[in-house]
Amino acid sequence: MAATPDGPGSMTLDSWRAGSLEIFRVGRGPRIGYLHGMVPVTSDEAFVTCLAEQGREVVAPCLPGYGGTSTSRDLRTMHDWVAATSEIIDVAGLNGAPMVASSVGAMLALELASIRPEAFSHLVLIGPIGLWRDDCPVTDPFSTTLSGQRNLLTNDPGLTASFYDGAAGEDPVVATIQRYTARTATASLVWPIPDFGLSQRIHRVSCPVTLIWGADDRIVPPVYADFFAESLSELRSVHLIEGAGHLAEWDAPARVAEIVTEALRES
């Protein structure tokens, strides 16, 4: 069941899992999905705009706990999260579409693709989480202060101001609660070690995959691009973005959008 709005904008499904589901739709053209990372997507996120300007209809749902999508105590395990993501992909009309996914969103996309290989026609993954090497551990993003956490995500911490500082005109209490809920959702996905057995399933991912990594990623070191590359049989290319941190699509939105377009054209 596709439930995206008819034109650009956002919509909220009020009856999704006894709560609400927020989906943004920006631009016109062939549809592409975007699963955000540790910071929830907004309709005016620069990367979404850049992607839409490449002639795409970007459909970007907020994952549970992020933005206008309800949090849920029922999401206790990775299985719960993947089931919810699968449902969101269907509701958003993204089944079989190409998908750009970042950080924790990329982890969920890989988990879903490993048990539902037909879910995506192409995956463009930005700094995915989900593998673990003892000799090169993924950084714990929550063993630091709030400003420290912010500094881990992007090279320019000012880029995430709307999330961390609140948008102009926004109720500060509502913004604080939304920020806390989103950070809690991230914690539930990465705590204490973001390895839920993906390495045992990732070989099932059969769609083409493009990997993008911020060269300055301080959460998932860029060497993880090699670890993922080893496991993905349909890997098309790996792109290291100089000057970008973990959320490379925030630090370099235009460049990442170009890579996405190029990857899909070749695919």
Partner 1 sequence: MKTVWFHLMPYPELPDDFTSEHRSVWVDIDPKLFDPAVGHRMYNDYIDELEFAAKVGFDGVGINEHHSNAYGLMPSPNLIAAALARTCPDAALVVLGDSVALYNPPIRVAEEFAMLDCISGGRLVAGFPVGTPMDTLYAYGNNPATLRERYHEGIELILRAWTSDEVFAFNGKYSKSRYVNCWPRPVQDPHPPVWIPGGGSIDTWEWCAQTGYSYLYLSYFGYKAALSTMRGFWNRVEAAGRPRNPYQAGFAQFFGVADSEKEAIELYREPAEYFFNRCLHVYPGFADPPGYKTLQTVRNGAEGMVERAAREASERAEQAAKKAARKAAQQSFSAASHMTFEQMVEKGYVIVGSPDQVAEKTVEMATDLNIGHVMSLCHFGNMNRDLAMHNTELMATKVLPQISHLWDDQWEDHWWPRPLTDRVR
Q: Is 73 in the site for partner 1 (CB under 8 A)?
A: yes
Q: Which CB, 18 or 173, lies closer to partner 1?
A: 173
Interface pick for partner 1 out of 183, 239, 246, 255 (rule CB under 8 A):
183
Report yes or no: 141 and 147 within 8 Å, Cβ to Cβ: no
Q: Determine, following the binding rule CB under 8 A, whether residue 170 of this chain makes contact with partner 1.
A: no
Task: Based on the shown chain and the rule CB under 8 A, indicate whether residue 169 belongs to the binding site for partner 1.
Answer: no
CB of 140 to partner 1, least distance (A): 9
Structure tokens at 230: 């080893």
Among 28, 136, 176, 226, binds partner 1 (CB under 8 A): 176
85 makes contact with partner 1 (CB under 8 A): no
Residues 6+ apart with CB under 8 A from 224: 128, 131, 133, 136, 138, 213
Judged by CB under 8 A, does residue 167 bind partner 1?
no
Q: Is 137 in the site for partner 1 (CB under 8 A)?
A: no
* Residue 146 touching partner 1 (CB under 8 A): yes
Helix axes 78-91, 103-115, angle to 10 degrees: 90
CA distance 223 to 131: 11
Which listed range, 180-188, 206-214, 224-232, 234-242, lies at the site for partner 1 (CB under 8 A)? 180-188
131-155: string of b/e by CB count within 10 Å (b at 16+)?
bbeeeeebeebbeeeeeebbbbbbb
Q: Measured in Å, how far apart are the chain's first and last C-alpha atoms?
A: 26
Taking CB under 8 A as the rule, does residue 187 contact partner 1?
yes
Strand ranges (DSSP E) for the chain?
9-16, 19-26, 31-35, 57-61, 98-102, 122-126, 209-214, 235-241
Q: Is 168 in the site for partner 1 (CB under 8 A)?
A: no
Tell me the sheet residues that pair with 124. 100, 210
Residues 18-57, one symbol each (x = binds partner 1 by CB under 8 A, - = not), give ----------------------------------------
Interface size with partner 1, residues (CB under 8 A): 24
89/220 Cα distance (integer angstroms) = 25
Q: At its nearest, how many Å lie between partner 1 and the CB of residue 175?
A: 8
Nearer to partner 1, 136 or 193 (CB): 193
Rg for the chain, CA atoms, rounded: 17
Closer Cβ to partner 1, 7 or 169, answer by number: 169
Contact 260, 124 (CB under 8 A): yes
Q: Summarize as ranges the residues that interact with partner 1 (CB under 8 A).
A: 73, 75-76, 142-146, 148, 172-173, 176-177, 180-181, 183-188, 191-193
